[in-house]
Amino acid sequence: MNPQAPAFIKLMKHPVKFRMFLFFKLPSAFFSGVRLRDIDVKHSIVSVPYKWFSQNPFRSTYFASLGMAAEMSTGVLALAHIYKRQPAVSMLVLKVEGSFLKVGKT
């Protein structure tokens, strides 16, 4: 495990810093409303709200929005493990698996 991973996780848990990260690095995720709900070194939970920007004309969520959230859940873990590595490490996500749950408002 990268000793800098907890510092990266702390950055990602900060709501303003996370939104700034999205705005500058992943603007489509920012505008879709993708949010990181929970993260630690072994798992992460990401959500995407059902709103105008993320729904298609058939009143369901665009798969692109769901795929973006699924990729973020795996990519953010990879980023945590390469954060501030020396020498610098590049990453490429090769496989993404996602479980999609519809959660209604209570």
- Answer for the pair 77, 44: CB distance below 8 angstroms, yes or no: yes
Q: Is residue 25 situated within a structural domain?
A: yes
Q: Is residue 105 situated within a structural domain?
A: no
Q: How far apart are CA 77 and CA 9, in angstroms?
A: 9
Contacts 24+ apart (CB under 8 A), 96-104: 96/67, 96/70, 96/71, 97/70, 98/66, 98/67, 98/69, 98/70, 98/73, 100/66, 100/70, 103/47
Q: Is residue 103 situated within a structural domain?
A: no
Q: Taking 70 as the threshold, does the pLDDT of residue 106 lie above it? A: no
pLDDT in tens, 53-94: 778 888 888 888 888 888 888 888 888 988 888 888 887 777
Q: How far apart are CA 75 and CA 37, in angstroms?
A: 14
Q: Is residue 87 situated within a structural domain?
A: no
Q: Quick one: pLDDT band at residue 17, thresholds 50, 70, 90?
A: very high
Query: What is the pLDDT of the chain when averaged over all its residues?
Result: 85
Range of the domain at 74: 5-82
